[in-house]
Structures are given as structure tokens and as C-alpha cells.
Amino acid sequence: MTIYYRLALLLALLLAPVASSAQINTDQVVNIGRNALYFEDYILAIQYFNQAIKAKPFLAEPYFYRSVAKVSLEDYRGAEQDAGLAIERNPFIVDAYQVRGVSRQNLGDFEGAVQDYDAGLKLMPEDKNLLINRAVCLSALQRYDDARQTFDRLLSLDRRNDRAYIGLAQMNLAQGDTTAALENLNQGIAISKKNASAYVMRAEVLTRSRHDFENALADMDSAILLEPRYAGYFINRAFMKYNLDDYFGAMADYDYAIALDPSSQEAHFNRGLLRAEVGDNNKAISDFDFVLKTNPSNFMALYNRALLYMRTRQYREAASDFTAILKKYPNFEAGYMARGEAKNRMGDKKGSEADYERAMAIFRRNKTHVSTFNPAEIEATAAIKKAEQRALTGNDEPETAEEIINRFNTLLTVNDSDPVKPEYANRQRGHVQNDNIEVEPMPMFTLSYYDTDNKLNSGTNYIREIGDINDTRLLPGKLTLVAGEPQLSEGDIQRHFASIEYYNGLLASAKPRSVDYFGRGLDLLMVKNPDAAVADADSAISLSPGFMLAYLLRADARYMQYRMNRARSEGANPLDEAPDALSHAMLRHRQDATHLDMMLADLDQALKLSPGNVYAHYNKGNVFMLQGDFTSAISCYSTAIELKPDLAEAYYNRGLMYLRMGNKAMGVADLSKAGELGVLPSYNVLKRMTR
């Protein structure tokens, strides 16, 4: 997306006068939320606006301000919906049309964005932000005459509006008029020498149309001085240095770009090409490895790595890469020749001859003696067209379900590439969507005496049975349900061991009661003894088959058994060649399946005794997710949401499951709702899954 798609709205919106009919307490909540917006505490602001909406759902302002927070977090779908709800309640909030227009613009809905900007301009005809955004959208829709009229109208109001000249340059480039575009950019830079994007755009025009790399390099130097922390500028400058034969300077820029953004595929790919050109083959392979790990469908990285494997005599790896290439391009004669050569060097004479014969058959069919098919050119041409389409319209072709699944799987597998964290990093403040996090589902809800610390989603997780047992005061603490596992202090652990000793004496000297076995089982679970906890849950159920909480306790204990078993499996040495290593691995796998099946049985029994137990439905969803049954998981999360519409964890996990199945629209909607309810990782996944 271009710079015109992100607006500096926040201060203007905070200062905008909006009529209020809410009572004082709601006014105070909204004002606190607005203060949080001003200090970029977007997540906290959303929680305040949620409170106001819950108290007075007929007010427009909380929806409007919540949409501002969401657009700042790049949750454009959620911002669009909230701005629409604000407009439904008060159609005279000009900035609500602007926020919804910006959201639609970022989502590629240029027609809808124009409609919003038109509505806003009816109320405020001289608003410069509305005018420039309208012009950019009209240009994207190729309604160039209308766009030009809008730019002219803006310039009639403000002749020194540098953004208008940059917008005109973008439109002229779309029409192929590079001379006019350069003139526009020169005018914009003359007005304001502090707009980095203007220098970048002029450098691109000088590079593409004039091959003037020296002046383009000077423009990129100016952009970097203005925005020295943006990795993309260094990638662009490296390309210019490369064309000026400054290989050392180009390499330094690629290195610095990767230091700024270690996950940049473009920087790794381009550095790989440069390393290959200067003969640093193994390091080039390492760069292409990185690209392919994060994007296995990157054909150009695969093709270049295959050639490098041949060059470095890694024939087995080369043959594997050429096999993947030939799967996509089965008529690639030179690919069969190369794989045949790799197989020959490996000693696979039969396979080599088969590949040579396949290549010769294609030559005979095409009546040629040399390879005329170059998949690299096909891929490069397609990439250029896609880049041009994105530059002109800000949008790509819709992703297929397979592409969505591949991208989501990439999110799950890429590790955090910045292990050294800043000394202070507030993960609840600012643009949390930019945090580099590991994508994991929300955890199970488990029985506990301790609350987990979630300042943003502090609602109590209550079921009737917990209230009933707390009222009896038969347990040593107040029982609750928590998502995740609280960290216990040494004092907490010692108290649980003392409680276990108390229950040991009680059960040995008095008539056993199911609640006593249940209480000791909870203590045993807290000190990580799930086997004994299962035994105590068994005893509690034997004495009281209708004791629903005992089934939840046993399910919790079986989940801990499952996790411990998984930890042992992951810690096993994969190179262990002991005779019983394979049988042990198979046994652990069967144990995993058994633990999960028994968890499902306990949760089903709990639901028979308490059909409205929302947390049992949610936990069943997590179990199905662990089993790979994503359809059943979604069904369980949906039931949980029907029972408790504000269960943020269920929205988040259901969103992940939708993405894993390739349903982007449903996944994005659920993640947006989860973020609204306080699940911070939602915004990071939304940013990485939404173009």
C-alpha cells in the first residue's frame, strides 16, 4: 500500500467535536479511551470503548473512536465495521466516513472508499484529506479525468500541497507519462524536502525510464536520511549501487536491510543473487534457504538454489530441487538435462538416462535441438506484472485457499529472528501488530486457585458448579477457571505440598469424601503430578458419578500428561539408533492419542452433566485442534461463542482454524473480534495475513 492509504488522522480525530448524549460516567470512559488513543495505547483504548458500547450501545462516538484505534492497528475490516456502526447512529460524523474510506482503500474496495469520501465531502467540501484520498482511489479505478479534477480542486484550495503533486505523479505514471510524473515530483519536492516517498518515487522513475542510476542513488540517500530505519529503502539503494558496479556498497546495504528487518525475503533473495554472482555460493544458498523456508512457493529462489547446488557439487540436493521445478513445469527440457546430470554424478545411471530420454523426447516433439523453454523468464514476467498491478491498484489477485494455508503455515513455523529484546518493550501499547511473535493458539481453560494476569480481558470465567463448591468452603482456596498455567512461587508450591499432607491424613483417618479426593487432586496437579491427580479424580468420580468438576479435573490432568509426553518426545535424540528407539517413539505417539481421546471422553461427560458449560466446549475445540480435526474444532468454538459471545479465546482459535483451512474472510473476521476483546496477538496475525 502507498503512503496515501495511511493517514495521519489521530490528532485531528481526537480534537474533532462530536455531539454526545451519554451520561457522565460513559462520557468519562470515552474520554479516558480518547486519552489512551492520544498516547497510542490502542489496545487499552479499545477496552474502554468496549465498556462504553456495552453500557450505551446506541451512542456513535465509542464505535467511531474504536474504529480509529483499529485502523491504527491495521485491522481494516474491524475498523470498517465500527465506522459503519458509528455512521448508522450519527450520519453527520465526517471523520467516520474518512476512517471507513481509509479502511476500504486498504482493503482494495476503491468504489466503496470513493462513496465514503463523497459523503464526507458533502458535509465538509474543503477537507484536504478527503480530497486527496478520493483522487487516489479514482486513479486506482482508472477514472483518470475524475481523479485529475479532484487533484485540481485540491490544488485550488492549497497550491503548496506536496501530497497532491505526488498523487498526480502516481496517476501520470499509471498512464505511462513519465515526463509529467517527473515534473510533478520535482514540484512536490520543491515544496517540501521532507517527504521521503517523493524521493523514492522519483528514484524509481529515474531508474526505470531513464536508467539514471546516479541521480536515483542521490534520491535514495535523501530518503534514507529522512527515514533511516526503513529496510526497503536500503534494498532499493542496493539495486542502484549494483547497477553502478558498486558491489561492495550493494552488499553492505543488503546486510543492513536484513539487520533492520531480519524477516525480509526481498533482502535475502537479492543478497543471494549478488552472492552467487561474486562466487560466494554457500552463503548464497543460505539466503535462498531462508526465502524458501518462509515462502516454499518462491520459484525463482528454488531455481537459483538448484543451479548453485549443481555448481557446488551437491547433486542430491540439486536433483531434489529440479524435481520440484519439473513438477510445476513438466516440459522444461533443460531441467531434465540438469537433473539427469545430477543423477549421473550420484551414480544413478538408470535415472540419468531416463531424464536424458525425456528431454530428448521434448526436443523431438518441438523439433528443436536447444532448449527454448525458460521457466525463469515466465516467473519473472509474472512477478513484474503482479508488481505493476500492485503499484497501480494497490491490490493483487485474490489468494487461493492453498496460498492462504501456505502463508498461515509460514506464520506458524518462522521463529522470532530478534532474540535480543529491548530493555523496555510495552507489548500492550502502540502498534502491537508489528511485534514479532510466535503464533500459538490460546490455551485450555483449567481449574485453578490462581487468576492469570490479563489486564485487557479481566472478565471472570464462571460456571455454576464452581460457585457452588466455593460456597461450601470445603477447599483450601477459592476455585476459578483460567486460560493458561499461572506461575507459582516457591511459597505457593510449599502450601500445596502442605495441603497434600493434610488431605493424606484426612483420607486415612476419616470416611473418604469425593470433595477431599478432588481437593488433593487439584493440589497434585498444581505441583505437576498428573498421574496421581488422575487417580484422585477417579476416586472422586467413583464416589460421586455426578460430580462434574471431577471430570474437568481429570481432563486437566490428562492434558498435563499429554504435554509431558510431548515434551519427552521432543527432547528425544532424533539420531538415536538404539534398537528400541522406534518402538518407544511409536508408544509415545499412541499415548498422545490415548490422552486426547480420554480428555474428550471426560469433557463429553462433563457436558452431559452441565450442557451449558462453555469452557468444556472450548476445551473440546482445543483437543480436536491437537488431533488435526479442524472442522470439529471450529464447531466446538462456535458453540462456545453462542453460549458466551465475549469469549475472546474462542474467536482467536476459531480464526486460526479458518486460516489453516484456507478461509481468509472468516479467519480475519474472527481475529478482528478477538483483538477487540483483548487478545493482542490477533493484530500481528491480521497484519501478516492481510495484504
The CATH number linked to 127 is 1.25.40.10
- The whole-number pLDDT of residue 103 equals 95
Judge whether 672 and 78 are in contact, CB under 8 Å. Answer: yes
- Residue 679 within a domain: no
Kindly give, in sequence order, each residue whose CB lies less than 8 Å from that of residue 231, ignoring residues fewer than 6 positions away. Answer: 256, 257, 258, 260, 261, 264, 267
Instruction: Calculate mean pLDDT across residues 410-431.
Output: 43
Distance CA 199, CA 189 (A): 8
Per-residue pLDDT reduced to its tens digit, 130-161? 999 999 999 999 999 999 999 999 999 999 99
- The whole-number pLDDT of residue 29 equals 85
For residues 18 and 128, membership in a common domain is answered with: yes
For residues 6 and 153, membership in a common domain is answered with: yes
CATH number at residue 542: 1.25.40
For residues 37 and 148, membership in a common domain is answered with: yes
Instruction: Calculate mean pLDDT across residues 244-252.
Output: 96
Kindly give, in sequence order, each residue whose CB lies less than 8 Å from that of residue 162, ignoring residues fewer than 6 positions away. Answer: 188, 189, 191, 192, 195, 198
- The whole-number pLDDT of residue 468 equals 93
- Phi, psi for residue 194 in degrees, rounded to 5: -115, 15
Judge whether 325 and 299 are in contact, CB under 8 Å. Answer: yes
pLDDT at position 452 over 90: no
For residues 505 and 384, membership in a common domain is answered with: no
Please state, in angstroms and as integers, the Cα–Cα distance from residue 654 to each residue in 75, 156, 158, 209, 461, following that order. Answer: 17, 51, 49, 48, 19
Strands 480-483 and 445-448: antiparallel
Please state, in angstroms and as integers, the Cα–Cα distance from residue 513 to each residue in 326, 474, 578, 671, following that order. Answer: 69, 11, 47, 45
Residue that finishes a domain, picked among 376, 397, 418? 397
For residues 529 and 389, membership in a common domain is answered with: no
Percentage of residues in the chain with pLDDT exceeding 90? Answer: 62
- The whole-number pLDDT of residue 111 equals 96
Question: Taking phi first (over 0 means left), then psi (-120 to 50 degrees means alpha), and beta for anything else, what does residue 230 get?
Answer: beta
Q: Which of 120-124, 433-437, 565-569, 596-600 has the lowest mean pLDDT?
A: 433-437
Q: Which of 377-381, 473-477, 539-543 has the lowest mean pLDDT?
A: 377-381
Distance CA 64, CA 97 (A): 10
For residues 4 and 147, membership in a common domain is answered with: yes
Residue that finishes a domain, picked among 569, 597, 625? 597
Q: For the chain, what is the domain count? A: 3
How many CB atoms lie under 10 A from the CB of residue 24? Answer: 7
- The whole-number pLDDT of residue 127 equals 94
For residues 384 and 468, membership in a common domain is answered with: no
Q: How is residue 5 annotated by DSSP?
A: G
Name the pLDDT band for 388 (thresholds 50, 70, 90).
low
181-188 long-range CB contacts below 8 Å, 24 or more apart? 181/205, 182/206, 188/162, 188/163, 188/164
* The C-alpha cell that represents 549 in the structure block: 468438576
Q: Please report the sign of the dihedral spanned by the C-alpha atoms of residue 217, residue 219, residue 223, residue 228.
A: positive
Which one, of 197, 238, 193, 196, lies nearest residue 217 by Cα? 238
Distance CA 77, CA 672 (A): 7
For residues 385 and 469, membership in a common domain is answered with: no
Judge whether 201 and 169 are in contact, CB under 8 Å. Answer: yes
- Residue 189 within a domain: no
pLDDT at position 423 over 50: no
- The whole-number pLDDT of residue 563 equals 86
Find which of 184-188, 294-298, 325-329 is predicted with most confidence, using mean pLDDT.
Answer: 184-188
For residues 356 and 469, membership in a common domain is answered with: no
Element (DSSP H or E) covering residue 483:
strand 480-483
For residues 6 and 148, membership in a common domain is answered with: yes
Residue that finishes a domain, picked among 158, 180, 195? 158
Q: Which of 430-439, 556-565, 638-647 has the lowest mean pLDDT?
A: 430-439
* The C-alpha cell that represents 210 in the structure block: 531513464
Distance CA 655, CA 667 (A): 4
Question: Taking phi first (over 0 means left), then psi (-120 to 50 degrees means alpha), and beta for anything else, what does residue 528 get?
Answer: left
For residues 373 and 493, membership in a common domain is answered with: no
- Residue 273 within a domain: no
Instruction: Calculate mean pLDDT across residues 241-257.
Output: 96
- The whole-number pLDDT of residue 570 equals 58
- Residue 389 within a domain: yes
Per-residue pLDDT reduced to its tens digit, 486-528? 778 888 888 998 999 999 999 998 888 999 999 999 999 988 8
- Residue 420 within a domain: no
Distance CA 546, CA 538 (A): 12
Name the pLDDT band for 544 (thresholds 50, 70, 90).
very high
Amino acid of residue 56: K
Name the pLDDT band for 299 (thresholds 50, 70, 90).
confident
pLDDT at position 379 over 80: no
pLDDT at position 645 over 50: yes
* The C-alpha cell that represents 4 in the structure block: 496515501
- Phi, psi for residue 679 in degrees, rounded to 5: -90, 100
Per-residue pLDDT reduced to its tens digit, 560-618? 888 888 776 655 443 344 445 444 444 555 667 888 999 999 999 999 999 999 999 99
Residue linked to cell 496421581? 532
Which one, of 198, 194, 152, lies nearest residue 173 by Cα? 198
- Residue 86 within a domain: yes
Name the pLDDT band for 10 (thresholds 50, 70, 90).
very low
What's this model's pTM, rounded to 2 decimal places? 0.72
Instruction: Calculate mean pLDDT across residues 225-238.
Output: 94
Name the pLDDT band for 557 (thresholds 50, 70, 90).
very high
Helix (H, G, I), strand (E, B) or coil at 676: helix
- The whole-number pLDDT of residue 14 equals 43
Alpha-helical regions (H) of 572-680: 581-609, 614-626, 630-643, 648-660, 664-676
- Residue 148 within a domain: yes
For residues 388 and 494, membership in a common domain is answered with: no
- The whole-number pLDDT of residue 421 equals 31
Comparing 625 with 19, the larger pLDDT belongs to 625
Exposure class string for 289-299: b at 16+ Cβ within 10 A, else e: ebbbebbeebb
Residue linked to cell 533492520? 260
- Residue 344 within a domain: yes
Look up the domain containing 342 and give its range.
299-397
Amino acid of residue 376: A
